[in-house]
Amino acid sequence: MARRTSVLVPSAASLHDTFRIPANTTSLVKSLGKLSRASLIALALQWLDDEYVHICRPYLSRDAEQRWDADGEDDDDANPYDPATSIEELRGIYTDLQERRGGKREVVNRILEGDWRNGLTLRQLAMADILYIEDNPAAAHRWTALQLVPSVDKKEPWHKINDSNDISVPLPRFHGATFLKSIQNEISPLVKAHYYISRSASLPLTFVRIFIVDSPYPISKTTTQCLHRRFKDNLSCVPG
């Protein structure tokens, strides 16, 4: 029986949370290197939490055994970090790191060369980026604020609209998932992207992070212009 040939077709679907970036990627080292030692350890423990561990799965001893069975080679002999046998063991390791002093390079190396040597998922990278913003809200970020106002008749003079203090009209309630889905529908035909939404733990904000990757599929210039125009029009109707 002839072997089936895999076929790749263009897709507008977003990149999945579990898509892995190789651990030796420079951007990963930079993203983790921006965090403090304490934040790195707290982040690793968050990845190992029951809520996230299925998406942020680390490299364990059973993975090393499966690799040995598959190719007959043991690449872990030269690695200074022995794979942990369980998630519980890893939690204990990072808890011990919390209780003693050291440099953050030690933690970055442990993450990328040891416990997540098989790479970090897009969700993990997103969580690291959001944590950096939480830790440094005023550093290297440009914030733009928009004000929501009730919809009014465009025929009215601008000064009347601007001077209106009527607060009886309720503003629409922001629903993060719906907002993210709308953005996703507009961006997906243009580029491949990963979307992550998170409620700030310290600020009255909801973060929407969009990690954009150039699409591997060609798009005509005319189509791109139409999509850009459509995206711009939809953005222009946002109250501000």
Cβ pair 17, 51 in contact under 8 A: no
Residue 187 pLDDT greater than 80, yes or no: yes
Q: Would you say the pTM of this structure is higher than 0.85?
A: no
Cβ pair 84, 77 in contact under 8 A: no
> Residue 238: its pLDDT value, please?
32
124 and 191: one domain?
A: no
128 and 26: one domain?
A: yes
Residue 237 pLDDT greater than 80, yes or no: no
126 phi/psi in degrees, rounded to 5: -65, -45
- Any domain includes 144: no
23: left (phi over 0), alpha (psi -120 to 50) or beta: alpha
Q: Which domain holds residue 182?
A: 158-236
Residue 141 pLDDT greater than 70, yes or no: yes
225 and 126: one domain?
A: no
Higher pLDDT: 169 or 145? It is 145
Number of domains in the chain: 2
